[in-house]
Structure 1
């Protein structure tokens, strides 16, 4: 399946090849060279691009005069191999490499590769926001999207709605009774130039320091000083926002729920959740 134009260094995706190239130049990252100019679509490898051009456009990309076959060369080891099969065997077996064959990327350690493979890097955007047409890779991504306030819904309203859903097993530290009562007021802190200590802007609540006043105010308006609202029923770890709790589940750190269970649970609760927030 074709994918968005993606950076081979950080796996960030872009809607156009121009956007990818601008990002690669700015960050000095490696752009994806495997894209079909006729379709403006990127592919994960040269082989995938060749297969696309052969089947979709009816000509042999690999056999054209102006094409070059992918050289079986390992940049990390500065070693040339007899063919791509031998190179792939080397990348798979060598302790010097932690190679992801899905995105042709090497990682510094085996644990980094495992973390990458367990991440959302290769997932499709299958989850739709209940308030807009935005598509996301995971339930936690949608939760973060809504909590950001982009739909004029505050993170406090999201938290109150989740509490009122009476999820079983219980994840709420503060069990609500009666109908949902979203907070009508909440404290907003605004820092001024008086927060400057001579070198940094210092938070008067936690003494964290920031380079700019804007950065300090963004910190004060975040959930950094909110109370913890949710608790994992298995490991008892506590979270301020529901997005943090769902990310914890998706990471499978404590094994409380499998990805399929999380995704199915999210699908069942979406309508109920959005209904509570639009009452």
Structure 2
């Protein structure tokens, strides 16, 4: 094996001796040299083909024999192929599990802040649920209906919200004694039974049986509809339909909550 000077084409028995020569006489390395071996080529496409064929890229995967042109590609390979989180040294059963882990507060922190009570959340889904359920102590007037009106005002083109001409505010329900079926408190709509009347009331007044207000912006490839803003945010954050990335969802959500820009993903 010999190493060639890219200027005078003199050959050397080792990489080190060639390096000393190049530094001493101000010569250059071959333009299209393999990252791993001493071979060089007449074009960039030729050396790329060689490195692909021989697995001769510069950076090694720590979990297999694959090599990659950049460390960023190694990291993506470890996550997507091996489903392994290197900082936590954890391997996951499937791609969805590792995505959820990487998008959790362990790696994302809590930088989505409620504009009213200043409580912080990891994702748009968390803050959406906080507001839609009326859980914010500083803004009890904010609920599912108020969020829908806000989103509609920022989404005139209906990217994620449905333009419902016949839209009416969410219905409120209260279970009566007739909901008791002898074994549990039964939902009139879905016949699911609950241990307590409070549990049934909570279920009845959740978005479960309400009108769909939102849809996935990937209408051609997905088309799913959702009863809550938190639902469509969670769907987009999961990247399950491939329409957008987690980071873009967070940026779009910030514009809805605190900015004056229209919705866009």
Q: TM-score, normalised by structure 2?
A: 0.57
Runs of at least 4 residues off by over 6 Å: none
Q: Shift of the alpha carbon at 1:103?
A: 3.9
Specify which of 119, 124, 134 is matched with residue 109 of structure 2: 124
Q: TM-score, normalised by structure 1?
A: 0.54
Whole-Å separation in 2 of the counterparts to 1:231 and 1:98: 30
How has the CA–CA distance of structure 1 residues 174 and 167 changed in structure 2, closer, same or farther, with 3 Å as cutoff? closer
Partner of 1:114: 98
- Provide, for residues 164-219 of structure 1, a one-character-per-residue CA deviation record: whole Å limited to 9, x for no partner: 22255622222569xxxx96x64321112321111121111221111221111110
SS in 1 for 2:151: helix
Partner of 1:46: none
Partner of 1:145: 130
Aligned residue-pair number: 175
- Provide, for residues 42-83 of structure 1, a one-character-per-residue CA deviation record: whole Å limited to 9, x for no partner: xxxxxxxxxxxxxxxxxxxxxxxxxxxxxxxxxxxxxxxxxx
Q: Shift of the alpha carbon at 1:113?
A: 4.5
SS in 1 for 2:208: coil
Q: CA RMSD in A?
A: 3.1
How has the CA–CA distance of structure 1 residues 232 and 113 changed in structure 2, closer, same or farther, with 3 Å as cutoff? closer
Partner of 2:185: 201
Q: Does the 8 Å contact 2:109/2:122 carry over to 1?
A: yes
Specify which of 167, 173, 179 is matched with residue 162 of structure 2: 173
Partner of 2:151: 162
Specify which of 228, 239, 242 is matched with residue 252 of structure 1: 239
Q: Does the 8 Å contact 1:163/1:175 carry over to 2?
A: no
Whole-Å separation in 2 of the counterparts to 1:207 and 1:143: 28
Partner of 1:219: 203
Q: Does the 8 Å contact 2:151/2:256 carry over to 1?
A: no
Long gaps (5+) in structure 2:
1-61, 64-77, 261-265
Long gaps (5+) in structure 1:
1-87, 274-279
